[in-house]
Amino acid sequence: MTGLQAGITTDAEFGDAEIVAVEPEPVRRVLALGVIPVVTGFQGGTAEYATTTLGRGGSDLTAVALGDALGAAAVEIYTTCPGVMTGDPRRIRRDAPARAHHPSRDGPSCPETAPRSCTTKPPSWRARRARRTW
């Protein structure tokens, strides 16, 4: 399923769209058939059915948004990255590599490192999640 087919509606900011609504009924219908849907991450669509992309971090955002809209108790994201990086490895000089952060070993410091790692504005889904507008 594309993001739009899965019920993810975004604004029209192509390349850096923000999710404005998630209506998970199409995903629920597929689940009811006993099928595990595969949803394209990092994309959604406008109210006019134009496909949009969410920008950096959009695949994880898609998973969290759908999980929240479906009432999931948790969302698990698997990646090839060794941990949460303390900086964007594309922006850090080669002689100063980012250290991989392992929450189980190093403790939870993601909120402290996020401002140094982000290259785009923080996704507004956090505010919407608090208000439950999707």
All structural domains of the chain with their residue ranges: 8-81+120-131
CA–CA distance from 124 to each of 22, 72, 84 (Å)?
14, 20, 21
Q: Please name the fold of domain 8-81+120-131.
A: Carbamate kinase (3.40.1160)
pTM of the model: 0.63
CA–CA distance from 118 to each of 32, 58, 88, 112 (Å)?
38, 13, 7, 11
Phi, psi (5° rounding) for residue 85?
A: -80, 145
Dump pLDDT digits (tens) for 7-28.
999 999 998 999 999 999 999 9
CA–CA distance from 101 to each of 13, 63, 117 (Å)?
32, 22, 12
11-15, 24-28, 79-83, 85-89: range with highest mean pLDDT: 24-28
**Residue 82 binned pLDDT confidence (cut-offs 50, 70, 90):** low
Residue 70: other Cβ atoms inside 10 A? 14
Q: Is the dihedral of CA 55, 122, 117, 82 positive or negative?
A: negative
Three-state secondary-structure class, residue 21: strand
Q: What is the mean pLDDT of residues 59-70?
A: 91
- From 133, 131, 124, select the one nearest 54 (Cα to Cα): 124
